Structure 1
């Protein structure tokens, strides 16, 4: 059965799936998953949702870590998710610094369009974009995704200081969103 956009959940990484840091996540040791988020990805996958990740990783462009280190982090993430019966269909990342004038760095929707193309979707209308920052929500809105803010990572601060896109749903964490989406709560 072909994937439809309303069964696609796109996640930001740092602050949604794993702990965030103002000093960047530069090593496998610094990449610390939220166990509830890993479990939620498993629940969503088993319920028939496709999970993708769209993440800004300017630490690459800044030279804080290399592609191999990022691959190691993502391998760990995928392994944890597979251990709970989940699957990550696609990880799209922007390696650029804010001043690089790229088309993929959120709040631009380029990463989401990369996911759309990789998954063979005609549109992202009806998909979900889950993030902890305004730029995540703006990228989702620009791509036609429904915006979801989680209060983990920078989410609580985002909620206090920023005007969110119309229709943004707010949850304590990815697990709470998953339970809501699946009708468990």
Structure 2
């Protein structure tokens, strides 16, 4: 199984002024949903792993989070793509849970649910915490220069804090170009 685990905020959707607390505030990063559809068409199952401390802080409720993700799913479906599942941590940083990234809990839950191992798993995001959470899985680690990493140049070395072996890409679309070229060919799972 080819499994791609994506971060949400900054990778799939633009960062807001604070928390994305309503469906109206959820705006996709240009080209991100098209990239997900291309990964799907190349045989990748796509799952989202996201910290959502706004739930723990009472800034929005679970019903609102479901509505935000429903908007994401609808927009993706119009492009012929899908996200198989959204795993989220509702805890605040002060709760010190095992599922809040950079802790590995969400990544382990996804790995176990899908039965994927090591190089079958591609993990992509714009924050070091997302990739740190996946670093012990033996997954392919990919940083995209959007969201929290928009200031980085994918041709330069990554700053401290990024796991060893992380590959940098200008965007999720550039990652899709690397993984699933538009001519229909796809790279082998083990990169």
TM score, norm. by length of structure 1: 0.90
Give the gaps of 5 or more residues in structure 1: none
Q: Output aligned runs, 1:52-71, within 5 Å.
A: 52-71=47-66
Superposed CA deviations along residues 90-131 of structure 1, whole A, max 9, x for unmatched, are 110000001112110001111112212322x05244311101
Task: Give the distance between the partners of 2:152 and 2:91, measured in 1 at CA.
Answer: 23
Structure 1 SS opposite 2:23: coil
Which of 8, 13, 29 pairs up with 1:18? 13
Matched, 1:143 2:137: yes
Q: Output aligned runs, 1:3-14, within 5 Å.
A: 4=1, 7-14=2-9
- Residue 145 of structure 1 and its aligned partner are, at CA, apart by 1.7
Q: Residue 180 of structure 1 corresponds to which residue in structure 2? A: 178
Matched, 1:123 2:121: no
TM score, norm. by length of structure 2: 0.87
Matched, 1:27 2:25: no
RMSD of the alignment, in Å? 1.8
Q: Residue 162 of structure 1 corresponds to which residue in structure 2? A: 160
Task: Give the distance between the partners of 2:94 and 2:107, measured in 1 at CA.
Answer: 20
Structure 2 SS opposite 1:111: helix
Distance 1:122 1:41, change over 3 A: closer
Matched, 1:78 2:73: yes
Displacement over 3 Å in runs of 4+: 156-163
Contact in 1 for aligned 2:132/2:163 (Cα 8 Å): yes
Count how many residue pairs are aligned between Structure 1 and Structure 2. 179
Structure 2 SS opposite 1:84: coil
Task: Give the distance between the partners of 1:133 and 1:22, measured in 2 at CA.
Answer: 17
Task: Give the distance between the partners of 2:64 and 2:75, measured in 1 at CA.
Answer: 17
Task: Give the distance between the partners of 2:15 and 2:160, measured in 1 at CA.
Answer: 19
Q: Residue 44 of structure 2 corresponds to which residue in structure 1? A: 49
- Residue 137 of structure 1 and its aligned partner are, at CA, apart by 1.1
Structure 1 SS opposite 2:100: coil
- Residue 164 of structure 1 and its aligned partner are, at CA, apart by 2.0
Task: Give the distance between the partners of 1:137 and 1:179, measured in 2 at CA.
Answer: 20
